[in-house]
Chains A and B, each alone.
Chain A
Amino acid sequence: MQDAKFERIEEGKALPGTCCGERSDGFPFPVFGEEPCSCGERRGSPKSDPGPLTTRVGEVVRVSSEWSWADSWGMVKSRVSAFRMNYAIPPGLYAFGEPTKESDVLVTANYKLTFDTLRRSLKGLQAWILVLETRGINVWCAAGKGTFGTDELVRRISETKLDQLVNHRRIILPQLGAVGVNSNRVQEKTGFRVFFGPVEAREIQAYIDRGYKKTREMSTIKFSMRDRLILTPMEINPALKRYAWLAAGMFLFFGLEPSGFLFKPAWSYGFPFVLLGLIALLAGAFVAPLLLPFLPFRSFALKGWGAGILAVAFGVQFLGIPEKYDGLTVIAAYIFFPVLSSYLALQFTGSTTFTSMSGVKRELKIGIPIYLGAAGISLVLIAAAKLKEWGIV
């Protein structure tokens, strides 16, 4: 049997989901060490394993539940870096096992990690997998944008001649895809009835065994400590890159003398402050997400501030800040760094499973003026401390 390797689709054309020189999260500041955009590359085309399946509608690539070393490594890289921005497989029809005309059709996104997670959970099942073009984005986010959407689904159903491939008229979508898919319209246009399956791929078998019925458990999204831990590298990583600018600014400030820039004070006074900032950063981007349900208040800004003020209080003592710096500088540290933690914790709203747009808008409406005010006051305080040190005031 021939080894049917996928060709890169639309050779030389970029995935529109990624942008050259622009951050995926749209943060308006420049970032150190950002991966350049590699337009036109798809990193994860699966090979048919075993050979392709010959069907009424042509040859279909077969996939198994096995993960290769490359699949696992791809998952790790996707969790920590911008690697995931181009981690996509060609959309279309795939066969899992030895599916027949009666086998279920499962719909998913073309983010490789999503596809891999799905096939890993299907062990022992025979099914068709219909992959939508979501530009390498997972089901939920793509559904929010509309790429995992009604039109795309209708188009793929007709393009793959699904009505000829199977005798039944049911397709199973991941429940979270419902954000972008109007099931009534899909049925009107294609004749296929949409079944919104469980939230998690690993419950698909149980869902099918129960006769396409969900328990409340299956249809509720969770957000465990493990889930949150997995998400923190993508909070810490970009935050650290931006923090490099702030750290550079702090070294510069502490090295500034009437006679010019001096490296000795820049290092000896700048370093403890940079460390204190790092502690605040970790409080906001790591501790707050991890301990989310255990921190008081519902507001993420307040959760982050709470984690930040504790971390900063600890850091100030640990680093001997009060003995080393002017009182105004110490006050500035207490004002600025917990606010930094707060801002970073608020960024985590983008990764959670339960924050709403109205809620985040309210937090920002109150939070942004406070953040800017706190940053401004801190600047004035350290400037005053500097002038005092120089004997000007």
Chain B
Amino acid sequence: MKYLHNVSTLRYAPEKCVQCGRCVEVCPHGVFEVDDKRVVLTDRDLCMECGACAMNCAFGAISVNSGVGCAAAIIRGMLTGGEPTCDCGPSRSACCD
């Protein structure tokens, strides 16, 4: 299943890549593949912006504006002015910590 066309913020700079294969190992949608010993970006529309690849690329070859693809979290972020998050907001410290 693919989500919206051409919205992903994933960027790959092959010139910085050392072909370590970490991105291939961590991507849950097969966005990165090894093709003839070179890592290639297959289809950006498959990317869900989870950020695992950028997090584990030690060479800065990948960037993505990662975050939760969740309507409730994004609406909450819009209402509170913060980043979208699955947490229940800053007021939680008042009751639970």
Please list the residues of chain A having a beta carbon within 8 angstroms of any beta carbon in chain B: 14-28, 37, 39, 141, 143-145, 175-176, 178-184, 196, 199, 214, 216, 219-221, 223, 292-293, 298-300, 346-347, 349-364, 368
Interface size on B, as a range, is: 35 or more
* B68–A350 touching, CB < 8 Å: yes
Sorted nearest first, the 4 A-B pairs with minimum C-beta distance are A350-B70, A355-B69, A357-B67, A178-B26
CB < 8 Å neighbour of B89 from A22, A144, A355: A22
Q: Shortest Cβ distance from A189 into chain B, in angstroms?
A: 14
* B7–A356 touching, CB < 8 Å: yes
* B contact residues around A352 at 8 Å (CB): 1, 69
CB < 8 Å neighbour of A183 from B5, B24, B56: B56
* B86–A22 touching, CB < 8 Å: no
CB < 8 Å neighbour of B69 from A176, A182, A293, A359: A359
Contact with A along B53-81 (1 / 0, CB 8 A): 00110100000011111111111101100
* A358-B7 in contact given A145-B87, A221-B29 (Cβ < 8 Å): yes
CB < 8 Å neighbour of B71 from A39, A223, A298, A347: A347
* A181–B55 touching, CB < 8 Å: yes
Q: Shortest Cβ distance from A107 into chain B, in angstroms?
A: 14
* A27-B72 in contact given A39-B95, A184-B58 (Cβ < 8 Å): yes
Q: Which of B1-51 contact A (CB under 8 A)?
A: 1-5, 7-9, 22, 24-30, 46-51
* B97–A14 touching, CB < 8 Å: yes
Q: In this complex, what residue of B is CB-closest to A344? A: B71
Q: In this complex, what residue of A is CB-closest to B30? A: A220
Q: In this complex, what residue of A is CB-closest to B76? A: A26
Given A14-B96, A359-B4, 7 more contacts at CB 8 Å?
A26-B72, A178-B56, A183-B56, A196-B26, A346-B71, A359-B7, A364-B78
- A356-B73 Cα distance, complex, nearest whole Å: 12
Query: Majority SS of interface residues in chain A?
Result: loop
* A37-B28 in contact given A26-B73, A180-B55 (Cβ < 8 Å): no
* B74–A22 touching, CB < 8 Å: no
* A contact residues around B25 at 8 Å (CB): 175, 178, 196, 214, 219
Q: In this complex, what residue of A is CB-closest to B67? A: A357
* A362-B72 in contact given A19-B95, A356-B48 (Cβ < 8 Å): no
* B contact residues around A353 at 8 Å (CB): 28, 48
Q: In this complex, what residue of B is CB-closest to A346? A: B71
* B96–A141 touching, CB < 8 Å: no
* A22-B91 in contact given A220-B29, A359-B7 (Cβ < 8 Å): yes
Q: Shortest Cβ distance from A325 into chain B, in angstroms?
A: 32
* A350–B71 touching, CB < 8 Å: yes
* A19–B96 touching, CB < 8 Å: yes
CB < 8 Å neighbour of A356 from B47, B75, B85: B47
* A355–B30 touching, CB < 8 Å: no
* B85–A179 touching, CB < 8 Å: no
CB < 8 Å neighbour of A360 from B5, B70, B79: B70
* B contact residues around A39 at 8 Å (CB): 95-96
* B contact residues around A176 at 8 Å (CB): 28, 52
